[in-house]
Structure 1
């Protein structure tokens, strides 16, 4: 979706708000108001660019001003030393910023934790020292003066309205980029990684790549904005450009307005920046840094009363009112209906192996968690895996889905053409037809039920409308149709379990791995889940399930495998397995058998 639907009232409201920012200074015709409007546009765009990596992807960049400064300095030095127009120089700055972001992001975003944030701060300080050291090229600590060549080519004007027009254009472009990303497959992937990285990988998302891509896009946009701001200020100084305070200020605007929203960063800027600038002018006699007090007060109030940001708390109500306006309910575009799950045509492979594990061994220190475990799941089969607590079932399950690499042994998956593949990562397993759920449910709680299921469907299509169509079909199969527009965080335990199954089904798997999907459910939800699993098997998806609810496992499974102490203890039909003395002993102990014999 390159543009919001222009006939929707939301488009009119958004356009009116932006045009107000452009027209109001023209009507007032005050130099200070023009300056304030330019600053709002620039910092609103900077906060929006920061929000791509900090809000959508959830990767805190506390040294983000380094990309702003790179754009400023590169464009200015190209003007001074080579006579290049800043319209060209800004793209040179963006290229340097992209390289810098890769240097920071490539190693740090492969790790979880504060490493990316710390690396951006360290890189910011290193760049500041380098700029101060190379005086002949960068001007050193004294800074650089931008040549005052008047004209559009040099981005230098006598009239403030010209600066405002360009700043407004950059703001509109940045918001457009943010809109595209948020409502594209890439945006859904970013939010999924931010919410629950393991669950995102289970639906085929390469978490590292999407985080790096977000960092690169954000750095490039920030650098371009820095290039224009340098032309506007006409002076660069290292301590101001490479400023930790500037980085925190940009992030704070996004936090106040609402992280991960399109309009939030701009709203936060409009709310805070004018108040801070006015207080700087009115209260400057009381001491330097008075505007920082304004930032602090607003931030404390927002954290206390609006922890999800202004848009996060108030946006839903405002959008609901807008959606009631005439024209809000348009005709949905017709898209081809895609099959939600595997098609019955694959029944030709009925009985053939689909998922095969051979000789799986995994040791955690001195504990041998799995010891030479082998199993086979066939087409059209429900295979139950049971065993006492601590037997190693979950470790086996994680090896079958790529979340744990076995020390020895192999896992292979049959493809539609009959060839076997050996995936090695969760996303590779998902892309080769293996879907899974988690023992502790992992919904993307900030998204709706429909958007959660769409995240699985995006592995099969890039089109959001087609993904929504798949989500509706899967919702029918998993009894979630009436809950599609509800937030995932508001579902019952049974609803969340079904949602996780639906998300895995939307990927179009041949094999579905269910990890205690019946645990914690009331009798009604258990009955509903059993019926759902049978429907899934009948649709052509083979099921491997770990379950402690024995009665349901016996009723559902075609075969049962028993794991005890990391080893395969027994395999066979349900009736044979549950009556095996070795199985009874594993669950109830030898004393129970002795008592029965007595």
Structure 2
């Protein structure tokens, strides 16, 4: 139903300038058709930018680099080699993808405003290079699009030059549809989920096995290629190309603003943002003439301020959820999904297997502070290893070492693969590939996504199919007691629900080793009991577990072995009974005055 409505809306958007306006007012048709060509061009660029800036959350203001490369590629290949613009269009897109990767590789190591400033710097460098190589580009004076071979006028579809604006409308609309379809496909793919995860919480994205650099590079490349295609067409349409127009910072800002007004990270938001702003600004300039010079900037500013103050999530991001609540059909909840988490009695516990993780002499220094000092441990298949110690003992630092979030200053760590070989991962996504999943001490859900989408991000580690990932996510969420909350936003969950969600997201990865960082802290007794049963069920499925916990009754109930960390050092190791009576452990927790209670 929604797909049919979207197709109908696109058809109506094209029909207005192509048929309706010429039939209603033939004299004004050319003016309005020009406005709609501009709308389609900017909407396509906004959709392309939204893949990087909306889905991935990377605020690039250098996207007109690729718009300009596309424009110059089509014109220069036409001028110097006599090639039709269609060839130059795709050649420019290929060059833009290469340039995007070269620019993104250093820039993506920067965060926040520093990344944005670096993209502006690259835009200025490219603009100056276009001015400098004037023998090819015409320099600051620019160059006209070649329209003649001798005295013969190059006109028609081959040369992308027409007397009637209807043909330009067809091409511009086709580029918009292409950008929209690409955006839709990306958002619903594994890549799209990964990009949104990076935007929401990059550390949590790394924990579910996402190579954050690779997915951001992919978004940069796709966005650049689409933007370049649009730039090639628009340069031919304008009939003149110069560095100030093709590598324009104000144009880059406008494109980002259209996506922001329409709704960042939504598929159709950039189109609605463009439809709202461009007609007002262009009509004002057309009606008022020279007296409206610069008025479009004022229009952009007023609309932006109004939307940000009244609809901070943009038009689609704010109105869309309201429409779904008001007119959308409610999804029935399957009563079988409201059950509590699966208990440990569901399957018999298999025997503990061979060692699958081995750490020797792990040490982590932060300047003069030694957070973890010469810690060695082993973990066996199907075993639960508890890690306890006072606050500040270095337990979470140890977890960060065991999951690749921190490199050790000294020591070695290796993980056994299913085929029996041993590997030494060096990054979170490599640990995930080796079968290691983790939760965080401070829960890190992808707050803007639903419970189902959160768990799907873990499931994508096992499959590239969105359908299969959804099936896995629903099954795991039900096991963790979240079946009735699949459509709820993660930010709406209670503390206990958020902790179960993190466990579900980790389990959906299909791990062989699960690191649980204080998943029972802050829970009420009923939730603690449910969490204990869930850990036992995970253990009984053959997954090895390392659990940091301060709830002593719980850690004693689930652990086969316990190690105790104090001041970065491992001070004790043994069974729960042995640890409970160990004088060094009692002293670490209660002080030396209580050592006598060990008896």
Indicate the TM-score class for this superposition, using the shorter chain for normalisation: over 0.9
What is the aligned partner in structure 2 of residue 335 from structure 1? none
What is the aligned partner in structure 1 of residue 338 from structure 2? none
What is the aligned partner in structure 1 of residue 61 from structure 2? 62
Cα distance, 1:114 vs structure 2:
3.2
CA contact 1:105–1:116 (8 Å) conserved in 2: no
Alignment of 1:469-548 (within 5 A): 469-548=471-550
User: Structure 1 303/597 Cα, relative in aligned 2: closer, same or farther at 3 Å?
Assistant: closer
TM-score with structure 1 setting the length: 0.93
C-alpha separation between the residues in 2 aligned to 1:349 and 1:577?
Answer: 23
SS of the aligned residue for 1:153 comes to coil
Alignment of 1:179-328 (within 5 A): 179-284=184-289, 286-319=291-324, 323-324=328-329
CA contact 1:413–1:421 (8 Å) conserved in 2: yes
What is the aligned partner in structure 1 of residue 587 from structure 2? 585
What is the aligned partner in structure 1 of residue 2 from structure 2? 10
CA contact 1:323–1:329 (8 Å) conserved in 2: no
C-alpha separation between the residues in 2 aligned to 1:241 and 1:345?
Answer: 65
The runs of 5 or more residues in structure 1 that have no matched partner are 1-8, 331-339
Cα distance, 1:91 vs structure 2:
1.2
CA contact 2:349–2:541 (8 Å) conserved in 1: no
C-alpha separation between the residues in 2 aligned to 1:243 and 1:597?
Answer: 74
SS of the aligned residue for 2:519 comes to coil
What is the aligned partner in structure 1 of residue 97 from structure 2? 98
What is the aligned partner in structure 2 of residue 27 from structure 1? 20
Alignment of 1:380-529 (within 5 A): 380-529=382-531
Cα distance, 1:305 vs structure 2:
1.2
What is the aligned partner in structure 1 of residue 566 from structure 2? 564
User: Structure 1 129/310 Cα, relative in aligned 2: closer, same or farther at 3 Å?
Assistant: same
SS of the aligned residue for 1:509 comes to coil
Per-residue CA deviations over 1:153-193 (Å, capped at 9, x if unaligned) read 00001111111011111111111100110000010011111
Per-residue CA deviations over 1:244-290 (Å, capped at 9, x if unaligned) read 10000000000000111100001100111101111223344545211
Cα distance, 1:538 vs structure 2:
1.5
SS of the aligned residue for 1:226 comes to helix
Cα distance, 1:521 vs structure 2:
1.4
SS of the aligned residue for 2:158 comes to helix
C-alpha separation between the residues in 2 aligned to 1:362 and 1:348?
Answer: 35
C-alpha separation between the residues in 2 aligned to 1:267 and 1:446?
Answer: 21
C-alpha separation between the residues in 2 aligned to 1:284 and 1:540?
Answer: 74
C-alpha separation between the residues in 1 aligned to 2:110 and 2:136?
Answer: 36
SS of the aligned residue for 2:120 comes to helix
Cα distance, 1:136 vs structure 2:
2.1
1:167 aligned to which of 166, 172, 186: 172
Per-residue CA deviations over 1:67-100 (Å, capped at 9, x if unaligned) read 1011101111111111110100011111221222
SS of the aligned residue for 1:440 comes to coil
C-alpha separation between the residues in 1 aligned to 2:598 and 2:385?
Answer: 31
Cα distance, 1:21 vs structure 2:
1.2
What is the aligned partner in structure 2 of residue 361 from structure 1? 363
C-alpha separation between the residues in 2 aligned to 1:321 and 1:467?
Answer: 29
CA contact 1:184–1:464 (8 Å) conserved in 2: yes
C-alpha separation between the residues in 2 aligned to 1:391 and 1:464?
Answer: 41
Per-residue CA deviations over 1:24-64 (Å, capped at 9, x if unaligned) read 11211111111111111111000000001111111111121
CA-based RMSD of the aligned residues comes to 2.1
C-alpha separation between the residues in 2 aligned to 1:163 and 1:502?
Answer: 51
CA contact 1:284–1:290 (8 Å) conserved in 2: no
Q: Kindly indicate whether residue 138 of structure 2 is the aligned counterpart of residue 139 of structure 1.
A: yes
C-alpha separation between the residues in 2 aligned to 1:391 and 1:350?
Answer: 29
C-alpha separation between the residues in 2 aligned to 1:347 and 1:106?
Answer: 48
Alignment of 1:75-154 (within 5 A): 75-148=74-147, 149-154=154-159
